[in-house]
Structure 1
Amino acid sequence: MFMTTGDLQRAHMVKGVVSVTKHLMFESDEIDQFERFDDLIEQVKPALLQKAADNDGDGLIYVHFNTEIAQMSVAPRFLIVTGYGTVVKLVDPGK
């Protein structure tokens, strides 16, 4: 299973697109902890790979991560990471 932010330079079949969202809540009196986005991204990666496997894929191409801070009224605030990519199945060109 592989994951790349770019294209794949070999024969493949597109199986679909998958996405995963993770979030982390923190109190409004805490300072913004942007470095915690890295932890959320690391949580999203294996979940994306699992979704690719569940869709009979060999990997993901064009993987992207969106980060966001959402505030609900006065408190709390959430760090949100959404990862998405295209599931592909490698094709044997000899077949």
Structure 2
Amino acid sequence: MFLTTGDLQRSHMIKSVVSATEHAMFQSDHIDQFERFDELIDQVKQDLIQKAQDQDGDGLIYVNFNTEVVQMSVAPRFLVVTGYGTIVKLADQ
């Protein structure tokens, strides 16, 4: 299984486009917790890989990640990571 942010330079068939989102509560007693984005990105990668495997894909191309801090009125803030990509199946050679 592979993930790439670009195109694939060999024959392949596009199967589907998938996305995954993970979040974590931003602890108000700590000022800088942005390093937690790394673990959320890793979780999103695993979610995308699982979705690709479930659809019999060989990998994902054009994978992108969006990160944001979300404030919910009076509730605490959340770190949110959304990832998406295109599932591909490699052509037999």
Structure 2 length-normalised TM: 0.93
* Bigger shift: residues 4-13 or 25-34: 25-34
Contact 1:68–1:80 (Cα < 8 Å) also in 2: yes
Matched, 1:85 2:80: no
Contact 1:64–1:85 (Cα < 8 Å) also in 2: yes
- Which structure 2 residues correspond to residues 20-35 of structure 1 after superposition, within 5 A? 20-35=20-35
Contact 1:27–1:75 (Cα < 8 Å) also in 2: no
- Which structure 2 residues correspond to residues 4-19 of structure 1 after superposition, within 5 A? 4-19=4-19
Task: After TM superposition, give the deviation of residue 71 of structure 1 in Å.
Answer: 0.4
The residue number in structure 2 matching 1:51 is 51
Q: Root-mean-square deviation (CA), in Å?
A: 1.2
Q: Specify the code of the residue in structure 2 equivalent to 1:30.
A: H
Q: Distance in 1 between matches of 2:7 and 2:71?
A: 35
Q: Specify the code of the residue in structure 2 equivalent to 1:53.
A: Q
Q: Distance in 2 between matches of 1:33 and 1:25?
A: 10
Contact 1:28–1:74 (Cα < 8 Å) also in 2: no
The residue number in structure 1 matching 2:72 is 72
Q: Specify the code of the residue in structure 1 equivalent to 2:21.
A: T
Task: After TM superposition, give the deviation of residue 17 of structure 1 in Å.
Answer: 0.4
Q: Distance in 2 between matches of 1:71 and 1:31?
A: 15
- Structure 2 residues without counterparts, runs of 5 or longer: none
**Residues 1:74 and 1:28: Cα distance change in structure 2 (over 3 Å):** farther
Number of matched pairs: 93
- Structure 1 residues without counterparts, runs of 5 or longer: none
* Bigger shift: residues 6-15 or 29-38: 29-38
Q: Specify the code of the residue in structure 1 equivalent to 2:60.
A: L
Task: After TM superposition, give the deviation of residue 29 of structure 1 in Å.
Answer: 4.3
Structure 1 length-normalised TM: 0.91
